[in-house]
């Protein structure tokens, strides 16, 4: 029997900044941004507590272009993807970063102010990733 693993992340949160859209030398779009996810609870004394986690999101292909065009700081989204940890060197020291490689996204809520909300075009999120 083959071993089956699952690496799936689902988040709902707000962007901490506008997505940074870039292109690889071969023309593949890539975007990244931080997504704030929060939770609240009452402690043992009945005091309301809140906590915010910041999640690094990476997205590739056409979905990256959609994110660059439609998402802005403060946008609320549903994000689905997988966790990925990678390493890099800084001054001879190995550093690690864990990020969510997003493969599906839905915008939630509407635009701020009284502007009408426009829905982003559908995106085929099943295109091949560059790795």
Specify the DSSP element, H or E, that contains 70.
helix 61-70
Number of domains in the chain: 1
Provide the token pair at 18.
């506008």
Q: Is residue 62 part of a domain?
A: yes
Q: Is residue 76 part of a domain?
A: yes
CATH of the domain at 44: 2.40.50.140
Q: What is the mean pLDDT of residues 75-89?
A: 96
Q: Is residue 117 part of a domain?
A: no
Q: Is residue 68 part of a domain?
A: yes
pTM, full prediction = 0.76
Q: Is residue 72 part of a domain?
A: yes
Boundaries of domain holding 92: 9-108
Q: Is residue 121 part of a domain?
A: no
How far apart (Å, rounded) are the C-alpha atoms in residues 131 and 122? 24
| Per-residue pLDDT tens digits for 53-70 | 999 999 999 999 999 999
Specify the DSSP element, H or E, that contains 61.
helix 61-70
């Amino acid at each position: 029997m083959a071993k089956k693993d699952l690496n799936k992340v689902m988040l709902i949160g707000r962007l901490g900044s506008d997505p940074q859209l870039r292109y690889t030398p071969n023309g593949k779009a890539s975007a990244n941004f931080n997504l704030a996810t929060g939770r609240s609870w009452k402690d043992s004394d009945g005091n309301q507590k809140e906590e915010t986690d910041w999640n690094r999101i990476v997205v590739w292909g056409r979905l990256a272009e959609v994110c660059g065009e439609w998402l802005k700081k403060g946008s609320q989204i549903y994000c689905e993807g997988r966790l990925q940890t990678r390493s890099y060197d800084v001054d001879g020291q190995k550093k690690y970063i864990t990020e969510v490689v997003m493969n599906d996204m839905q915008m939630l809520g509407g635009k701020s102010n009284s502007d009408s909300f426009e829905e982003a075009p559908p995106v085929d999120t099943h295109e091949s990733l560059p790795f």
